[in-house]
Amino acid sequence: MAKLVDSKETIAVLQKTNFQFKKQFGQNFLIDSSVLEHILSFSEINKNDLVIEIGPGIGTLTEALCERAGFVVAIEIDDKLIPILEETLSSKDNFKLIHGDALKVNYLSLLAEHKEFSSIKVVANLPYYITTPILMDLLEKRLPLKSITVMVQKEVALRMKAAPGTKDYGALTLAVQYYSNPVIVQEVPPHCFIPRPNVSSAVIHLSLHEKTPVSVQNPALLFKTIKFSFMQRRKTLVNALSSGFHIEKKDLQAMLGSLSYPENVRGETLSLADFALIADGIEELQK
């Protein structure tokens, strides 16, 4: 039974170790068992899984993950949490702690050390100041992950799941949806954490596509096209792409016209499939 999620237990660990929260590391520790259960049930962790956890804190999620997973590798940046984790998780023999920055870990060599697992999942209550870089890093590396189930700021979860034409829709939405199918599991209010964050949170589950939903000649060009289209949202697509790629407007207009897009089309109304067609059009123009 996971114990650390109990607020009294968490406070006891924090007091005993005289732990001081560090704002710069986005430390908000989970103290709500029903949220913990939701994370575990959506990620469907079982003994065949290798789980990578980013930012274990005092080990609240880690403890529960170790009880269900085959093996758990947790990456924690804060020196002060290392001895605490060694103590709180001392009874777990299917757990390895990496002391370091999750943005600098070599995930391929980490996975090579655990070849016996074919199912790899990421589960975390992420530090909010680096949510997007961490997720993009994991997705862009094309690691053989089955799913990513993470606590993020609610606003970021809404952006990942947004539909074309809405204010939340943007480059993050398209990148996440290129690699995965996002589902918002649950909204999580500030009182589920110690200390309480200033924003609402949400658990989001990304199941990674085996095959990307669109195919393009050059995926890097697709992401450049998306980036330029959303860099200046108020510009028309032709203007945004012309200044981004240094392509003549008339050539872009002709290409978009041949794909039946109106002259004044804006990126924020286009789907991933639209961007794939346009990126292939740009590829041709650049030949």
Decide: is 267 part of the binding site for ligand SAM (CB under 6 A): no
Q: What is the 8-class DSSP label of residue 95? A: E
Decide: is 130 part of the binding site for ligand SAM (CB under 6 A): yes
Q: Which of 101, 155, 187, 248 binds ligand SAM (CB under 6 A)?
A: 101
Stretch that binds ligand SAM, among 125-133, 172-180, 205-213, 239-247 (CB under 6 A): 125-133
Residue 276 tokens read as 């794939």
Decide: is 76 part of the binding site for ligand SAM (CB under 6 A): yes
Which residue of this chain has its Cβ atom nearest to ligand SAM in the complex?
A: 55
Q: Which of 19, 35, 55, 182 binds ligand SAM (CB under 6 A)?
A: 55
Q: Residue ranges of the alpha helices (H) in 94-218?
A: 107-112, 131-140, 154-161, 171-179
CA distances to 33, 201, 245 from 30, rounded to whole Å, are 8, 11, 45
Decide: is 25 part of the binding site for ligand SAM (CB under 6 A): yes
CA distances to 6, 91, 132, 189 from 195, rounded to whole Å, are 14, 27, 22, 12
Q: At what angle do helices 219-231 and 272-285 cross, to 10 degrees?
A: 110
Q: Which amino acid is at 230?
A: F
Decide: is 103 part of the binding site for ligand SAM (CB under 6 A): yes
Residues within the annotated binding site for S-adenosyl-L-methionine? 28, 30, 55, 76, 101, 125
**Applying CB under 6 A, which residues contact ligand SAM?**
25-30, 54-57, 60-61, 75-78, 81, 101-103, 125, 127, 130
